[in-house]
Amino acid sequence: MSIIYADNNATTQVAPEVVEAMLPFLTADYFNPSSMYEPARHTADAIKEAREAVARYFKLTDPNTILFTSCASESNNAAIFGAVKANPNRRHVITTAVEHPAILGVCKELEREGCDVTFLDVDAQGNLDIGEFVRALRHDTLLVTVMHANNETGVIFPIEQLSRLTKETDPAIIFHTDATQSVGKVPIDLRRELQYVDLLSFSGHKVHAPKGVGALYLKRGTRCRPFLIGGHQEEGRRAGTENVPYIVGLAKALQLADEGLNDENTRVLGLRDRLEKAIEEKVPYIEINGRGAPRLPNTLNVSCHCVEGESLLTQMDAHGICASSGSACTSGSLEPSHVLRAMKIPETAVQGSIRFSFSRYNTDADMDRIIEAFPEMVANVRRISPYWDQEKNAPRLG
């Protein structure tokens, strides 16, 4: 049985074109890009070209605003700790309650270090309240860090509006966004719409590059101290010998994403919408999480009342369907997702959430198989649920 991979917000298959672009730098071109001899110059050129390609993806004219890192978590740590270290006179940070742990964990650490952090709530659709956001900005706010798209629900926050409002209130406030889930899925123009963003993080393995490479956009003039200190790589802003093959792979992946951004995402959106409609028709008592908000084209988060998400995942696994019951980093624990909790998903549904996330490698046939199997699997899990009334085929009341 072939598998259906529907967990692309956790990680993605490496594109064959990316592997091909990386191979020379894993074999013959192994030189340290900082070395002074001719063969190493070719390796250094490869990084330069990769940096230019990444900058092009974001419509940037200055490639040196892109720093290569090892992952989005590192980029987030570098952005937040770097900004806090460079601005000791301000101690207030604004974020949201639904960020990835790679932001929430850092913000909790800031609290331990004496910063005051505001965690903004979301409504039942996963939207932020703009008025509440503006009221949270203070004279001592040093940083705003708000994700672009949510990894669990795909809900997209209005980063253009939030970053503009931040700068209109106080141009000294630094604006960071974790764009790990939006890169490759929606257009990101850091020269126009998102010109007020100072720092942006993302990761290669969510866009068909390998795990172990990411990047941080650092706008010129942004007060941010280096996070990894040591060698002079990345203009002294991130020490460590560059991971040349992976950097080349990341650039190739973004180039491929750019070429297919409209067509592929429209096709993937069609797959997602077809599945969403079919699940709604065939499975009673469900919630489509985040449906009332702008959403990524590839993500479908569905909560089934009176279902234990882990049991459903086990059944799906037996059918070769790979999906997730929460973000990859939190699955494995039975704690309900903090994102769905913040959205106040009904208590009987919050445990029964499944996230399907697709990519350009998914097909109509994948949807056929999920549509055929999923309703029966939900029914099976409900059959053994004490909260499900078998007679009425509905949740048990009281």
- Rounded to whole angstroms, the Cα distance separating 211 from 213 reads 6
Site membership for ligand PLP, residue 326 (CB under 6 A)? no
Closer CB to ligand PLP, 96 or 348, in the complex: 96
Site membership for ligand PLP, residue 203 (CB under 6 A)? yes
At position 4, the amino acid (one-letter code) is I
Site membership for ligand PLP, residue 72 (CB under 6 A)? yes
Give the distance, in angstroms, between the CA of residue 19 and the centroid of all CA atoms in the same chain. Answer: 22
Q: Which of 28, 47, 145 is nearest to 93 (CA)?
A: 145
Of 303, 327, 359, 362, the one binding ligand PLP by CB under 6 A: 327
Site membership for ligand PLP, residue 7 (CB under 6 A)? no
Closer CB to ligand PLP, 298 or 385, in the complex: 298
Footprint (CB under 6 A) of ligand PLP, residues 101-160: 102, 147, 151
Identify which range of 89-97, 162-170, 175-183, 265-273 contacts ligand PLP by CB under 6 A.
175-183
Query: Which sign, positive or negative, has the C-alpha torsion 121, 123, 126, 127?
Result: negative
Beta bridge partners of 155: 295
Whether the CB-CB separation of 229 and 81 falls below 8 Å is answered with no
Site membership for ligand PLP, residue 174 (CB under 6 A)? no
State the minimum distance, in angstroms, from the CB of residue 9 to ligand PLP: 6
Of 156, 175, 178, 257, the one binding ligand PLP by CB under 6 A: 178
Site membership for ligand PLP, residue 100 (CB under 6 A)? yes
Q: Which of 280, 396, 291, 288 is nearest to 352 (CA)?
A: 288
Tokens found for residue 35: 């070395």
Start-end of H helices in the chain: 16-26, 38-57, 72-86, 101-112, 130-136, 159-169, 233-236, 244-282, 309-318, 338-342, 347-350, 364-383
Identify which range of 168-176, 189-197, 215-223, 324-332 contacts ligand PLP by CB under 6 A.
324-332
Site membership for ligand PLP, residue 214 (CB under 6 A)? yes
Site membership for ligand PLP, residue 96 (CB under 6 A)? no
Site membership for ligand PLP, residue 200 (CB under 6 A)? no
State the minimum distance, in angstroms, from the CB of residue 332 to ligand PLP: 13
Tokens found for residue 342: 């913040």
Site membership for ligand PLP, residue 71 (CB under 6 A)? yes
Of 14, 97, 328, 394, the one binding ligand PLP by CB under 6 A: 328
State the minimum distance, in angstroms, from the CB of residue 221 to ligand PLP: 25
Whether the CB-CB separation of 275 and 302 falls below 8 Å is answered with no
Site membership for ligand PLP, residue 182 (CB under 6 A)? no
Closer CB to ligand PLP, 185 or 219, in the complex: 185
Whether the CB-CB separation of 201 and 176 falls below 8 Å is answered with yes
Closer CB to ligand PLP, 156 or 286, in the complex: 156
Site membership for ligand PLP, residue 216 (CB under 6 A)? no
Site membership for ligand PLP, residue 73 (CB under 6 A)? yes
By DSSP bridging, strand 394-395 and strand 388-389 are antiparallel
Beta bridge partners of 156: 149
Number of residues located near ligand PLP, criterion CB under 6 A: 15
Q: Is 107 one of the annotated active-site residues of the chain?
A: no
Of 95, 118, 180, 299, the one binding ligand PLP by CB under 6 A: 180
Beta bridge partners of 92: 116, 141
Choosing from 107, 224, 304, 329, which is the catalytic residue? 329
Q: Which of 283, 214, 255 is nearest to 66 (CA)?
A: 214
Start-end of H helices in 222-363: 233-236, 244-282, 309-318, 338-342, 347-350
- Rounded to whole angstroms, the Cα distance separating 257 from 24 reads 22
Site membership for ligand PLP, residue 330 (CB under 6 A)? no
At position 6, the amino acid (one-letter code) is A
Could you list the active site residues?
329
Binding site for ligand PLP (CB under 6 A): 71-73, 100, 102, 147, 151, 178, 180-181, 203, 214, 327-329
